[in-house]
Amino acid sequence: MFLTVSRQVVLGTLAQILLYQLIQVKPLLLNHQYLVNALLLKPPTLVLFDLGVLVVVVLTMGVLMDW
């Protein structure tokens, strides 16, 4: 029971994160130069945080697919 609930919570959270990321990233992808500039202007910690979030999402999706 707990596993089912936690899975739904994880999926819901992931969906929200992915949706939020897509909303933010989509306009950036339309303008590649802007994306590069945004990454260069960001503090390194924020870039690392973004990469960390991406890795966590990918790993979590991999775990969910194995269930």
Q: Which residues contact 21 (CB under 8 A, 6 or more apart)?
A: 53
CA distances for 47 relative to 6, 14, 30, 41, 64, angstroms: 29, 19, 19, 10, 26
User: Is residue 66's pLDDT more than 60?
Assistant: yes
Whole-structure pTM value: 0.31
Residue 36's CB is within 10 A of a number of other CB atoms, namely: 11
User: Is residue 64's pLDDT more than 70?
Assistant: yes
Q: Please write the tens of the pLDDT for every residue from 1-50.
A: 455 667 777 777 877 777 776 666 655 555 566 656 666 666 666 666 77
- Domains of the chain, by residue range, sit at 2-66
pLDDT of residue 28: 52
